[in-house]
Structure 1
Amino acid sequence: MKTKYILVVTFILISFSSWAQRSLFDGVNMTIDTLSINTPYSDFGPAIIEDELVFLSFSEKDGKKSDNQNKVFYDLYSTSLNAFGEVVSDRSRMGSVVSKYHEGPLAYCANTGELFLTQSNWQNPQEENMVFIKKNIRLGIVVYEKSGTSWQLKERLPFNSSEYSVAHPTISVTGDTLIFVSDMPGGSGETDLYYTVRTADGWSDPVNLGPKVNSGGQEMFPFLNTDGTLVFSSDGFGGAGKLDLFYIKFPILASSQRATFTGDINSPADDFGMVVHNNQQSGYFASNRADGMGSDDIYFVRFEDYVFDVITMSSKTKEILAGAHVNIIDEEGRVAASGSTNDEGRLEVKLEGNTSYTLVATNEEYMEKVLDLNMADQTNFVDGNLEVFLDPEFAFKGQVVDIMGNVPIPDALLTVSDGTKVDSILTDDKGTFRYNLESDKKYRVEVAAYNYFGTEIEFNTMGMDMGVFDYLIQLYSLDAGSRIALKNIYYDFGEWNLRPEGKRELDRLAKVLEEYPDIQIILESHTDSRGTDEYNMELSNKRSEAANDYLISKGISARRIDWVGFGETQLVNDCDGSIPCTEEQHYENRRTVVEIRKSKVTRRAKGNIFYF
């Protein structure tokens, strides 16, 4: 390092109010390489503005480089970066912000579109034409804003002074918290780190960051990373060499530990000006270590691992979901990370950078969430964390049981149709099932099981909020003695013609009789209480006969079917004419029941009549 105030550029992507609790440098493997933009002179102060790496270098004077570096100015240069943070173009001078003074460092706030730039702080305009090296010029921070394709001066920070330097700015993503370096009176050492907050009334008075950051030596080059890490250089805490890189969580609390040494990056030489790429998987710093091209060079750091928290939340309420299970699968199908979120809905994960994964998150009463996770793309990360929103369960679920004692029926087949596709699911050993639904759909579910008479369920999700359709589906066994009220075999008043839904139920019965050729049945039809006894008896016989004829038309032998009518003698409710009843109540009595008279198996209990 060749000057007391080396100029560095920083780029911030962090919200002051919501910084995370982990550092990018904790337990992460990394590799370090030099960059092609370096020259035999001093190149340092890397920064990122959008998709460019901006850095500082000695400018040419009269078309030549000076042999005496103290007689020339530092200017800003840039080069293009790809998504991985790799340099993909030659360096070029940034003429839009270059002045006749020393320039840098600067911090860019994407939220406000401002540049916070360190420049030579000329307090007396008459001194501008004097040779720089002959004046003890202080440094100050000025603010620029974009105007078309150029930058225009907006303001100078109110605490700039001709008595001391104010330099090395780094700004929060909201643009309201600035950290900088100064040798103003009252500090701990030669230079300290300070912060100031912007309010409606302007910038607050600078506040020293205290002994957990500042020492009796020099603290410089602050950088706020998206994971809440404040990185800076110091020669006052001891380390591998002269200036070394340290980090600490920001804001700095009473419980905070002293700044931590970044051992994997530091060398016996000066190491300073660390910044991290937007992708959080690479970064840059400057060093005058022995293997460089010039006096100071910029080095490229690739973080091989990326440590972050998966945070599970409800997509509907945005509340934290504790206990959600998370599996992360790599491209080879191997489990790269697995676990359950804690009481704060967090699960710490460590993955390889620039790699693709599949994340699967599940939680009780929520739908499974599957995310493609490309570690080269940080757009899914918020403050360095991955927020996973689970949709409240929108499902058809329940249990299929034998109606005799509600005994679970495993391996029952449910065929689910929404009019455009058909899916099949099986119940587990407890007879339970679950199927994810979609909004604005009409569903029909056919339920079947071995040695059971199946059934059908219809429902729709038209205009509904997410929720659960929870069913206890009771099936009748096909044992001898079972009496089953055929679902939907109802008749219009005074009619015996089969309705369409009744035909569908008889089709189910015909299929059962085909699959179980030993079964013999009797069809029993009923009427409501209106009409004479004689009329109702005749009507019920016609209804049974109509059902019998329909089954025969489907290929079932007449020898396997008996039929009978019971008129109004077996009502299912109290609508016997003694009390007023609705049409719907009378409708329930106009029905057909099937009794299984013969089967391979004798029913466990006889004499009971069961209805859906």
Structure 2
Amino acid sequence: MKNLIVACAAAGSVAVLSGCAASGGLTKADKRFQRGEYESAIELYKADVAKGKNIAMSNYKIAEAYRVTNRLEQAESYYKAALDGGVKNTDAPFYYGLALKANGKYDEAATQLEQYAQSGTNRALVARAEREAQNAKAVPGLLAMQANNEVTPLDQINTASSDFGATIKPDTKELIFASGRDGKKYPGNGEGFNHLYAIKFDDADKMVGGTVMPYETVAMSGAAAAAPAAGATGTAAPAPAAAPAKDSGKPLFSKPNMHQASATFSPDGKMMVFAQSNDGSKKGYLSVDLFVSYFRGGTWTEPELIRGINNSKADDFSPVLSPDGQTLYFASSRPGGQGGNDLYKSTLGANNRFSTPENLGDQINTPGNENFPAVAPDGTLYFSSDGHPGFGKLDLFRVEKTGKVANLGAPINSTGDDFAPYLTGKDVGVFSSNRAGGKGSDDLYMFRKKPLKLVTFYAEGKVLGKDAKTGTTEPLANETVTITSANGQKQDVQTGADGSFKVKLDTAATYSFVADRGGYFTARQNVSTVGKVPAQDQLANEMNDITVPVTLTLDKIVKNKAIVVENIFYDYNKWDIRPDAATELDKLVQTLVDNPDISIELSSHTDSRGKDAFNQTLSQKRAQSAVDYIISKGIPKARITAKGYGETAPVIKSAKTEEEHQRNRRTEFKVTKINAGQ
């Protein structure tokens, strides 16, 4: 958004020169700067730097010229050079921090802005610095946001010049936008003055095809099918503007020394509001106001200032009418706002006049700049801002139903200026950006929410039987697997000849898979799909199947066969149940619940180090502590006994290494009784 005058308003930019002229008066560069001829001023200041003339201040002026023409990212190195050179300007450190942020150097920006917040003398900028520092720190969270949007450049429209601020004319379905592609150059930044252009797409949904023409030609012809301007489709060399019906001999909209942009139309297409600058002859720079024109008698009326809306001390720009045409939203730099540019609204009365503008308040407006409001067909308000947490410069935001302002995230937003949204439907529309990779300083992009890629979860499992002697397994055919969801719903599936089964699962759900067979320990496995849906960019297809493996192994119950309970650890010389041990004992509790017809002995063993009596007592206390824990979980006392073996039953009789001693220090259980029915 290099061209500020209509796109973002450069109100007050000439004040930068105060106190910075050389001792001999204004230099040639200073005079260019003062007249708002920033592009030529930059070259003159650079020449001064090359000559070693007033280096620090010249670098500062270059930085300021880039800033006020909205090229803050190019200002960074010049602010740094000015500060390193000892420039005497107390606000320079603040703007240097903003330039760092504009270049994606968020940590450096936060540090610089925090320093200014501590030492700055400009109270308004100190408040902004505090907020901007917090915004810079919030960027990692924004980068982590996943937005299912796709962004496509409208390259049949975009040129090397600035192209921005699109809208759809309701009655003719033409896309109207601003461009500096033709005509006289604006001395503020060396680009062409912005004028309105139109295109009617061959395919409106995809926004492809069609021929770009100056809107003057389209408006006077009364149809988008008027003869195109000379040149290839999408490049639009300008055709001479047709005269209004009254034959005034003057072009209606494309005044050569003025900017026009941000057209918006009433629902019937008969009223047009747009932003237009003056020619710079009165104020020394191009201030911006809102104008209105009406389509009457087959032509547009001469544009006139909207009464009661414009402020003579400010720029008023980026107008947009609500879908019902009754409310006009716009941006203004007028006094009395939150700071920078604020958003305002005004309603259209029965007398066809707009009411006194109303500031949208501090939930939307910030000490930074809020520009380019837009109202979606469903009434949702969108806008651009560099005051809310964003990626560096202007980002696009949406006002949620709760009133909260939400960043639209990447890929819609970037480290560049992303602005001027226009919603053509739910989650689809056009916006403008000067992000890297475009054709010019500003380009138009289409965005739409991509169709959500869907995921279906399946559990693919097997039921295996384990041989008690050899430890080998084999598939079990025709076994019943009971699947229980978290809400208690049950489903049974049968295994096939190869012991396998497959069942569909819900997303964000948990399940328990259980296989039960007489004479075997019940096999159980818990499965969850909560949080398991991959990110959209990791899914290959519109429909994606994700399988979750399940293996249920049925172990033969053998009386008096010791089974080690893994990972039961105690603190030195203690028998309290630690949290990690409790987790493992809970598994044994589940085994007893799943197998109600067995009774067990739970035993504890020590290594051979220490006295026999001490080890015997300690192991008994540990075994009893574990049994007491299991009983506390609801297992009947009669089904479990505690037995401490001390060092009398080692796995490795002549243990020498620490690993061997560890194997001897163990907790086991064995089935002592199988009741009838097992």
> TM-score, normalised on structure 1?
0.42
Higher strand share: 1
Larger Cα-atom Rg: 1
TM-score by length of 2: 0.38
